[in-house]
Structure 1
Amino acid sequence: MDIDDTDKRLLAALQKDATLTAEALGAQLNLSASQAGRRRQRLEQAGFIERYSARLDAARLGLAVQAFVQVQMATHEPEKVKGFTRIVGNRPEIVSAWTLTGEADYLLRVYCADLAGLNVLIHQVLLPHPAVARVQSQIVMDQFKADAPLPT
């Protein structure tokens, strides 16, 4: 499905504020509320919009430590890798994970209440796993640019 400039502007507006009503979207896009609503629905159905969510303040939730954790695997045996990815998927402090090229096999973004929580995650959860060879963490000192919307 091709999208036009109006669709791109609609997607950009929703990335900034997913709570915009059809009326507010229409006003921003110079469309009627019904046209804006139909466009949004079409983009949702086509899979351009995967879901809506709220961005929470980690510090207010008591999550004082953000870190990136690189994991190098000892083995790529399918069953052991499945076990590792299952652990990653089930740990609430791991908020995103990527498979990488290069020295590290995985990059995990984690939020913990404190350094002790990060220590537990690394030394009691990740390192003991039989598929894991090495873990390296980088603690975020400051995030000067928040997760930005995708370019449209």
Structure 2
Amino acid sequence: MKIDAIDLKILTVLQQDGRVSNQDLAEQVFLSPSACLRRVRALEESGMIARYIALLDATAFGLEVDSFVQVTMRRDVEHWHENFTAALQSWPEVVGSYIITGEANYLLRVRARNLKHYSSFVLEKLYKTPGVLDIRSNIVLQTLKDTQMLAPELLMGEAGVNG
């Protein structure tokens, strides 16, 4: 789907406030409410809008430890990838998981209440997973930028923006 400057503005506003009313959204992008709703539905149907969520403040819930963990696997263990990816689905502490390049196989983002909780996660879950060879933890000391928003200039890439 090709998007134009109006679609781009709709996407930007929705990323800032996913609960904005269609009326307010239409006013902000200078469309009639019906035309605005048609465009939003087309963006949803195309998959450009994947879903609407509420972003929670982890620290407000007492999750004080934020860490990035590189996990290196032993390749001589049968089904190491399938077993690891299945196990991490059941770990609520893992809020993000990625297959990465480099020495490690995976990068996990882990949230925990405190260092004791984090230590328990590493020792009782992560290290006990068959095939885990090495774990390298990086504890976040201060967050400088943490966003799920995609900047308009990034959105103008391969999807294409007309006008």
Specify the TM-score bucket, using the shorter chain as the normaliser: over 0.9
1:96 aligns with: 96
Greater relative contact order, per chain length (Cα 8 Å cut-off, separation 6+): 2
Normalised by the length of structure 1, the TM-score is 0.95
Q: Which runs of 5+ in 1 are unaligned?
A: none
Q: CA RMSD in A?
A: 1.3
| Matched letter for residue 127 of structure 1 | Y
Q: Equivalents in 2 of 1:148, 1:95: separation in Å?
A: 13
Q: CA deviation at 1:79?
A: 2.4
| Matched letter for residue 131 of structure 1 | G
- Count of paired positions: 152
Give CA-to-partner distance per residue, 1:35-77, whole Å, 9 cap, x none: 1111111000000011100111111111010000100111276
Q: CA deviation at 1:129?
A: 1.4
Q: Equivalents in 1 of 2:100, 2:120: separation in Å?
A: 24
Percent identical residues: 37
| Matched letter for residue 15 of structure 2 | Q
Query: Any idea what SS the aligned residue of 1:92 has?
Result: coil
1:85 aligns with: 85
Q: 1:10 to 1:117 in 2, by over 3 A?
A: same
Normalised by the length of structure 2, the TM-score is 0.88
Runs of 4+ in structure 1 displaced over 4 angstroms?
Answer: none
What is the correspondence of 1:1-150 to structure 2 with a 5 Å cutoff? 1-75=1-75, 79-150=79-150
Q: CA deviation at 1:33?
A: 1.0
Give CA-to-partner distance per residue, 1:55-105, whole Å, 9 cap, x none: 111111110100001001112766231111011112111001110010111
